[in-house]
């Protein structure tokens, strides 16, 4: 049974519970009225009422027909006790109690008896049993007819409610399913969008660098340079947001956005132009970067990404810690490896003194390179500058 059918059953069970229990209570109160039924009959019926109420309570949680059977049998038992123990029911209160039981309280079982063939058969059987006993204990033909009419109405009502709900649920199910389909599409779209944003790692890296500068109120960097950098980054973020419209970038701009496949992705251009952008960025922040060696290197995009991130990270360390305003980057390549040598003539440090992790070196540089099969090595000594060797496979 699928889940929605289960939910429907549960809904009907709950309805049957509240329906049955409310009117069992009414029937009980009627029976408790002075002179309604014989005191002995009342005493005998009280445990039966308890069983009916308990079974109706359980009916709300369980699909088992046991509880339905218990409700029906004990209900009919109560009717019999009222009629045949002692003086019998009084015309108003006593018969009201019987009618409330037979035509309403017990009829609540019909709510859970419409979902399958056997259950419908049980429903008919239950109706005949309960209705029959209610009519049987009624004296006088006109009263019998009235009882019969009320019992028929009383059983038709919950049956109709059950059918109505059963018809309504599949309709809702269809609409929910279509919402689900829409949501799946939405999820896929949002997933692609997130991947697009996350894969624009280089862009985020420069944005993060700029934000970090701003977090220190931009102290130490010329306001104009910072504004220029902010403008660049904001424009790139806007391109990312707008799905990167395929506008050709103005001369020498760092990032080229191109329309590829259905999902636009910010593509990293060849190493040469990207190196220029890194250089520009650091120049603005007060670090002169000098390039040596190969100008144009073609790398797979993930490798290029990691390589540039590591490089930018190294230059950032130079900018922050070296105390000089110049760094040299030498790029060499052979058939297998592209290598970058980042050197500065700054204060340097004793490698044994400074924990790798503290510099963010192992995480941001080494880990990124290892991800793509590369490697990084660090050489430094106090007073004699720092050299970092970055290697990635071609």
Which residues, 97 to 116, sit near other proteins by CB under 8 A? Answer: 97, 100
321-352 exposure pattern, b = at least 16 Cβ within 10 A, e = fewer: bbebeebbbbbebeeeebbbbbbbebebbeee
Cβ distance to other proteins smaller for residue 180 or 293: 180
Q: Is 171 in the site for other proteins (CB under 8 A)?
A: yes
* The one among 58, 119, 146, 197 contacting other proteins by CB under 8 A: 197
Q: Is 202 in the site for other proteins (CB under 8 A)?
A: no
**Coil, helix or strand at residue 389:** strand
Q: Is 370 in the site for other proteins (CB under 8 A)?
A: no
For other proteins (CB under 8 A), the number of binding residues is 81
Sheet holding 288-293, edge to edge: 288-293, 326-333, 337-344, 386-393, 375-380
CB 26 within 8 A of CB 53: no
Q: Cα(272)–Cα(97) distance, rounded to whole angstroms? A: 94
- Smallest separation (angstroms) from other proteins to the CB of 217: 4
Other Cβ atoms less than 10 A from the Cβ of 293: the count is 13
Sequence-ordered strand ranges (E) for 294-356? 326-333, 337-344
Cβ distance to other proteins smaller for residue 14 or 146: 14
Residues 292-321 that bind other proteins (CB under 8 A): none
Q: Is 35 in the site for other proteins (CB under 8 A)?
A: yes
Residues 70-99 that bind other proteins (CB under 8 A): 90-93, 96-97
Q: Is 274 in the site for other proteins (CB under 8 A)?
A: no
Other Cβ atoms less than 10 A from the Cβ of 147: the count is 22
Which stretch, 29-37, 72-80, 304-312, 328-336, contacts other proteins (CB under 8 A)?
Answer: 29-37
Q: Is 43 in the site for other proteins (CB under 8 A)?
A: no
The phi, psi pair for 288, rounded to 5°, reads: -80, 120
- Smallest separation (angstroms) from other proteins to the CB of 99: 8
Interhelix angle 271-284/301-317, rounded to 10 degrees, is 20
| Strands 265-267 vs 288-293: parallel, antiparallel or unpaired | unpaired
Residues 223-252 that bind other proteins (CB under 8 A): 223, 226-228, 230-231, 233-234, 237-238, 240-241
Q: Is 141 in the site for other proteins (CB under 8 A)?
A: no
Which stretch, 119-127, 215-223, 290-298, 377-385, contacts other proteins (CB under 8 A)?
Answer: 215-223
- Give the CA radius of gyration of the chain: 41
* The one among 14, 58, 146, 321 contacting other proteins by CB under 8 A: 14
Q: Is 194 in the site for other proteins (CB under 8 A)?
A: yes
Q: Is 215 in the site for other proteins (CB under 8 A)?
A: yes
Q: Is 3 in the site for other proteins (CB under 8 A)?
A: yes
* The one among 208, 245, 263, 337 contacting other proteins by CB under 8 A: 208
* 145's tokens: 């007819």
Burial of 84 (0-12, 13-18, 19+ CB in 10 A): exposed
- Smallest separation (angstroms) from other proteins to the CB of 100: 7
């Amino acid at each position: 049974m699928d889940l929605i059918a289960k939910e429907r059953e549960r809904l009907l069970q709950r309805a049957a519970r509240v329906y049955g229990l409310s009117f069992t209570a009414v029937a009980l109160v009627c029976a408790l009225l002075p002179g309604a039924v014989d005191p002995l009959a009342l005493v005998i019926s009280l445990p039966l009422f308890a069983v009916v109420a308990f079974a109706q309570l359980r009916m709300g949680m369980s699909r088992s027909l046991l509880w339905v059977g218990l409700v029906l049998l004990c209900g009919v038992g109560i009717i019999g006790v009222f009629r045949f123990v002692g003086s019998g029911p009084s015309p108003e209160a006593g018969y009201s109690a019987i009618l409330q039981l037979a035509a309403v309280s017990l009829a609540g079982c019909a709510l859970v008896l419409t979902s399958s063939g056997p259950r419908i058969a049980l429903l008919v059987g239950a109706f005949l049993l309960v209705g029959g006993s209610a009519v049987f204990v009624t004296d006088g033909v006109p009263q019998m007819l009235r009882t019969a009419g009320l019992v028929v109405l009383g059983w038709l009502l919950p049956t109709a409610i059950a059918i109505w709900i059963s018809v309504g649920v599949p309709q809702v199910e269809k609409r929910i399913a279509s919402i689900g389909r829409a949501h799946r599409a939405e999820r896929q779209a949002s997933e692609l969008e997130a991947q697009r944003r996350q894969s624009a790692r280089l862009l985020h890296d420069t944005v993060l660098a700029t934000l970090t500068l701003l977090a220190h109120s931009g102290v130490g960097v010329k306001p104009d340079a910072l504004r220029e950098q902010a403008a660049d980054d904001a424009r790139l973020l806007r391109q990312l947001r707008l799905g990167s419209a395929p506008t050709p970038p103005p001369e020498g701009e760092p990032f080229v956005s191109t329309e590829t496949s259905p999902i636009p992705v910010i593509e990293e251009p060849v190493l040469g132009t990207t190196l220029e952008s890194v250089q520009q960025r650091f120049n603005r922040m007060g670090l002169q970067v000098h390039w040596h060696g190969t100008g144009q290197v073609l790398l797979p995009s993930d490798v290029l990404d990691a390589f540039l991130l590591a490089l930018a990270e190294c230059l950032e360390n130079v900018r922050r810690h070296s105390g000089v305003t110049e760094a040299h980057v030498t790029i060499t390549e052979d058939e297998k490896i592209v290598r970058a040598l980042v050197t500065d003539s700054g204060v340097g440090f004793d490698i044994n003194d400074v924990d790798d992790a503290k510099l963010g070196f192992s995480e941001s540089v080494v880990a990124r390179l290892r991800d793509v099969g590369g490697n990084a090595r660090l050489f430094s000594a106090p007073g004699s500058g720092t050299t970092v060797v970055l290697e990635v496979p071609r």
